[in-house]
Amino acid sequence: MSLHPPTIAETIAAGPQPSQKKRRPNWKALLFVVVFFGGVLVAGYLQSPLSTVSSIEVKGLREVRYEEVLRAADIRQGMSFWRIKKSDAAANIMAANPLIESADLTISWKGEVVIAVVEKTAAGLLLADDGFHPVLQDGTVLAKVEQLEGTNVPIISLDTAPTVEAGQRLDHPDLLELTKQMPEVDRAVLDQISEIRVTVTGQWRLFMRDKFEVRIPPRQFADKMKTYSTFRTALGSDKPPGILDLESDYYKPFTPGQKKGGE
């Protein structure tokens, strides 16, 4: 290795030395490009069929019709699912139909809309002056039913059949108290009741499907019916149909010719 400095000729022959300083990338320009093309992709996606509702499923329906839910939610296939406000749609569904207790919407990135509803439970069938009307647990009256086949809820009757209007709440305090207390009673016990007769004076009378008649104090339906199963079991299966008074805790068989419960 030569210790002498290079001559002028050697320096010219070697040419210019490359710069040791590297050029930094322009991050602002790169970010602008990314944002620009990202915006183009998003805009294209929003305008494409990929952002539209491809299918609509409604879960939990028993009495309410599929079309009624869609009409209230104002959702249809082919519309952009970005236009759907889930909370507003759920509120509209519940407001349009008193039978629906809650509604919840989910939307997938593929445009699949699922509406899950929970319907209120009918407390019984009210015998009104124009026929039988289902009554919800909150006292709301539904449209009259034409046939009773397949119905497993109790018939509710008064001394005088009332006039009711579908969609409106009952204004009878005893009936409102009865429907309010019914969810507190075990379903197996409710299924055994054929009819509940609410009287203006005296005890309420319950006609059971096993031909027994149960009598309870007014407005104590839940408390007394919680003890019914124990009382009925202790009575034994060999006892003939009769009156079970849950206010005084006694049993009295029907006399010959006396109407039996459920008849």
Give 17-74 pLDDT, tens digit per residue.
555 555 666 666 666 666 665 555 555 545 555 578 889 999 998 778 899 999 999 9
Phi-psi region of 63 (alpha: psi -120 to 50; beta: other; left: phi over 0): alpha
Is the confidence at residue 211, as pLDDT, over 60? yes
9 has pLDDT over 60: no
Determine the Cα–Cα distance for residues 193 and 211; give it in Å rounded to an integer: 10
Residue 183 is classified by DSSP as G
- Containing domain of residue 217, as a range? 122-253
Residue 6, pLDDT score: 63
In a domain, 6, yes or no: no
Together in a domain, 211 and 135: yes
Asked if the structure places residue 165 within a domain, the reply is yes
My answer on whether 249 and 134 are in the same domain is: yes
Does the residue 30 lie in any domain? no
- Average per-residue pLDDT for the chain: 83
d(CA 215, CA 34): 79
Beta bridge partners of 216: 204
Please check whether residues 81 and 110 belong to one and the same domain: yes
99 and 129 together in one domain:
no
Claim to verify: residue 102 and residue 184 sit in the same structural domain: no
Helix (H, G, I), strand (E, B) or coil at 187: helix
- In the prediction, which pLDDT does 23 show? 61
Exposure string for 69-89, b = 16+ CB within 10 A, e = fewer: bbebbebeeeeebeebebeeb
Residue 68 lies in a domain: yes
Each residue of 106-135: pLDDT tens digit? 998 888 999 999 988 788 999 999 999 999
pTM of the model: 0.63
Does some domain include residue 236? yes
Q: Is residue 36 part of a domain?
A: no
User: What is the arithmetic mean of pLDDT over 231-247?
Assistant: 90
The pair of structure tokens assigned to 37 is 């093309």
Give yes or no for residue 169 having a pLDDT over 60. yes
Residues 128 and 242 in one domain: yes
Burial of 220 (0-12, 13-18, 19+ CB in 10 A): middle
Overall residue count recorded for the chain in this entry: 263
Instruction: Kindly state whether residues 114 and 126 are assigned to the same domain.
Output: no
Residue 240 lies in a domain: yes
Give the domain-ending residue among 92, 119, 146.
119
Distances (CA, A) of 37 to 25, 30, 34, 42: 19, 11, 5, 9
Structurally, how many domains does the chain consist of?
Answer: 2
Q: Is 74 left (phi over 0), alpha (psi -120 to 50) or beta?
A: left
Q: State the Cα–Cα distance between residues 142 and 169, nearest whole angstrom.
A: 9
Question: Do 132 and 244 fall within a single domain?
Answer: yes
The CATH number given to whatever domain includes residue 86 is: 3.10.20.310
Would you call 182 helix, strand, or coil by DSSP?
helix
Domain with residue 225: its CATH number is 3.40.50.10960
Question: Are 203 and 161 part of one and the same domain?
Answer: yes
The last residue of a domain, from among 91, 119, 147: 119
* Residue 176's pLDDT band (cuts 50, 70, 90): very high
Task: Enumerate residues 6+ apart whose C-beta is below 8 A from 259.
Answer: none
How many angstroms separate the CA atoms of 89 and 83, rounded?
A: 11
Distance in angstroms (rounded) separating the CA atoms of residues 35 and 67? 43
Q: Do residues 185 and 224 share a domain?
A: yes
For residue 21, is it within any domain? no
Residues 231 and 128 in one domain: yes
Does the pLDDT value for residue 174 go beyond 90? yes
Note whether 128 and 239 are same-domain residues: yes
Q: Tell which of 61, 90, 119 closes a domain.
A: 119
pLDDT > 80? residue 3: no
105 φ, ψ (degrees, to nearest 5): -115, 140
In what helix (H) or strand (E) does residue 205 lie, and over which residues does it extend? strand 204-208
